[in-house]
Amino acid sequence: MYESIAVVGATGAVGRIILDQIESRKLPFRKLTLLASARSTGKKIQVGSQEYTVQPLVPEAFEDIDLAICSTPDDIAKWLVPEALKRNCTVIDESGAWRMDDRAALVVPEVNPEALKNHQGLIASPNCSTTQMVVALKPLHDAARVKRVIVSTYQAASGAGLGGSRELEECTQAVLQKKEFTPEVFSHQLAFNAIPQIGSHKEQGYTSEEMKMVYETQKIFGDKSIRVSPTCVRIPVTNCHSETILVETERKLSVEEARKCFEEFPGIRVIDDLDQKLYPLPNECTGQDEVFIGRIREDLSCGNGLNFWCVSDNLRKGAATNAVQIAEALLKETPVSS
C-alpha cells in the first residue's frame, strides 16, 4: 500500500481519468493529494466518496509523498520531476520530457514490466501512439521477433487535450454554419480535414511525434535494430487513436497464428470479421482500456509481413490507465508498506 499518492495535473483530461482509475481499480493508498496549476488551485474534486481540494503545484508539495503520477506539459515536467525525486518521491511521468533519459524506465506493464526492477525513482509512460502499438506488437515479437514496422496513425483531437476536443467541436459548428473560423490549437482547420503533421519538424522530414514512435519502441523492446517508419496524421475524431500497422517478422506468422497471439495476450481484444463488417471503431472503443485489433491479413508486399488495424482510447490506455497500471506493478516489484 502507498502511504501517500499525489496526482499532478489532476484537473486535466488525463488527470481526471487517472483519479477515476485509482478509484475503480482500487489502487491502495492512505492519503491522496491533488496538485495543479495556480488557476486550478482551490477547486473541489470528488474521488469516490471523498471530496478533495486541489493544492498548488510547488516543490514543497512533494514532501512526504511516496508516489506522484504526473500529467503535465513537458516544460512543467522538466522542473517538477527533479524536485520530486530529490524529496525521495517516486514519479510516474506522462510527459515527453524524460522518456528517452537514461535515468527513466519507459514502461508499458504488459510489454516490459522487467524495466521496473531497477528503476531509479523515475518511470515514464510512453507517447499514446507508441503505447497502443507496442502492446499490439508484443505478442508478435514474442512469437516471431519483429524486424520492421510501417505505421500510419489517425489521431483524435483529444490527443491535444481539452482544448483540442473543444476546437474540433467549435470548428465543425462553424464550418456547418458557413462561418469563419481561426484555429488556435491545430495548425489548420481540423473539421472535415486531415492534417499530416503532429509535432514539430524533427529530422529527415519526420515530425517529433513520429520520431517518438521510433525511439520509444526501440527503448521499450530494448532493441535498436527494430526499424520503424511512422506517419502521424490528425483527423476529425473526438477520441481514440487508430493505426494501420504493417509488421515484418523474422519468422513468418500465419493470419491464424497471429490472431491466436493477439487473443491470448492480456489487454488486447480482437474484433475481426470483414464479411460482417466487424472491426474496431473509435466511437465504440472510447472509454475502454484495451487495445483493439482487427483487419488481420497477410501483407502482399513482403513474405513475412502482416497488416492489421489497431484502435485504443488515447486518454486511457494511451495515458491514464497505463500510468495507474505502472503504479500497480510498482507495488508488486517494491512494496511500499504493508
Burial 256-286 (b: 16+ CB within 10 A, else e): eebbebbeebebbbbbbeeeeeebbbbeebb
Q: What pLDDT score does 332 carry? A: 87
The 10s digit of each residue's pLDDT in 62-111 is 999 999 999 999 999 999 999 999 999 999 999 999 999 999 999 999 99
Mean pLDDT throughout 256-281?
Answer: 98
**Are 252 and 293 found together in one domain?**
yes
Does any domain span residue 294?
yes
Question: Who's near 118: CB < 8 A, 6+ residues apart?
Answer: none
User: How many distinct structural domains can be found in the chain?
Assistant: 2
**Are 167 and 290 found together in one domain?**
yes
The C-alpha R_g of the chain, in whole angstroms, comes to 20
Q: What pLDDT score does 337 carry? A: 45
**Are 242 and 263 found together in one domain?**
yes
Q: What is the mean pLDDT of the chain?
A: 96
Give catalytic residues, as residue numbers: 128, 241
Per the listing, cell 517508419 goes with: 229
Mean pLDDT throughout 28-50?
Answer: 95
**Are 119 and 136 found together in one domain?**
no
- CATH number of the domain at 77, please: 3.40.50.720
Does any domain span residue 58?
yes
DSSP state of 300: S
The range of the structural domain enclosing residue 140 comes to 130-314
How far apart are alpha carbons 208 and 20 in whole angstroms? 30
Does any domain span residue 254?
yes
Q: What pLDDT score does 334 carry? A: 60
Polymer length in residues for the chain: 338
Residue 208 three-state SS: helix
**Are 98 and 15 found together in one domain?**
yes
Cβ neighbours, 10 Å, residue 53 = 11
Does any domain span residue 338?
no
Does any domain span residue 265?
yes
The CB-side HSE value for 277 (13 A sphere, CA atoms) comes to 0
